[in-house]
Amino acid sequence: MAELARYKLGRITKDDPDGYHRAACPAVQGKLRCALRPDSLSLSHAHPEVTKAPSEDPPCCCTQQSITVPPHVNVKTAQRQDYLSPEWRHSYGRRSAAERANATVKDPSSTDITRGSVRLMGQSALTIVVACAVVVRNIRIVDAFEARQAENERRQARGLGPRSRKRRRRTLEDLAS
């Protein structure tokens, strides 16, 4: 991902009201060396170099200082972090945690705040019930965490490593039988 970021067009402005933004060539931004950008050749040889620059009919980003990028082009590259980079995975993990929290609050085997299970009317009453459900869920998560930590401390005192989670995936043979 770090290598990909070196060759990526760099955003130089924020989105305008219509979603357009300006981007510059990586050679203009000093990320790499390119024969089409003579100023970039003064960079150290530690920077990557474009060895086969298009000599006939180069793209607009090679001939202009910057280009305008419409909102529908490369939606994945318009994100704050590069798609699938470690920073993106960390940020996306927050979404997984939020979705997991919503799923456990709505789980009928534990909290269940789905339609029909709560027989209250009015937004205020329902807000209080949902807040209580979230509190109960958080207490349950903290209790499970503390129990895991205590178990790991007991195992460490005996000279064992932390307990690993059991693999939940099943093989095709398990599913077929």
Structural domain contains residue 141: yes
Structural domain contains residue 101: yes
Structural domain contains residue 39: yes
Structural domain contains residue 177: no
List phi, psi (to 5°) of 19. Answer: 95, 0
> How many separate domains does the chain show?
2
Whether residue 8 is found in the same domain as residue 37: yes
Whether residue 36 is found in the same domain as residue 100: no
Whether residue 116 is found in the same domain as residue 68: no
Write out the two tokens for 99: 């979705």
- H-type alpha helices, the chain: 2-7, 60-63, 86-106, 123-157, 172-176
Instruction: Residue 32: name the closest of 24, 43, 23 by CA.
Output: 43
Q: Which of 23, 45, 78 is the last residue of a domain?
A: 78
Whether residue 7 is found in the same domain as residue 70: yes
Of the pLDDT bands very low, low, confident and very high (cuts 50, 70, 90), residue 139 is very high
The residue with greater pLDDT, 9 or 137, is: 137
C-alpha distances (whole Å) from 125 to each of 5, 6, 38 are 50, 53, 68
Q: Write the pLDDT tens digit of every residue in 100-125.
A: 888 888 888 877 777 777 777 888 88
Whether residue 7 is found in the same domain as residue 73: yes
On whether the CB atoms of residues 19 and 70 are closer than 8 A, the answer is yes
Separation between Cα atoms, residue 118 and residue 24, nearest integer Å: 55
pTM equals 0.47
Separation between Cα atoms, residue 12 and residue 65, nearest integer Å: 11
Query: What confidence score (pLDDT) does residue 150 get?
Result: 93
Whether residue 73 is found in the same domain as residue 100: no
Structural domain contains residue 139: yes
Q: Which of 78, 108, 125 is the last residue of a domain?
A: 78
**Residue appearing with tokens 């086969």:** 52
Query: What confidence score (pLDDT) does residue 145 get?
Result: 92
Q: Write the pLDDT tens digit of every residue in 146-169.
A: 999 999 999 999 998 887 777 767
Domain that includes residue 39, residue range: 2-78
Whether residue 117 is found in the same domain as residue 143: yes
Structural domain contains residue 166: no
Whether residue 48 is found in the same domain as residue 115: no
Structural domain contains residue 73: yes
Structural domain contains residue 144: yes
Query: What confidence score (pLDDT) does residue 83 get?
Result: 76
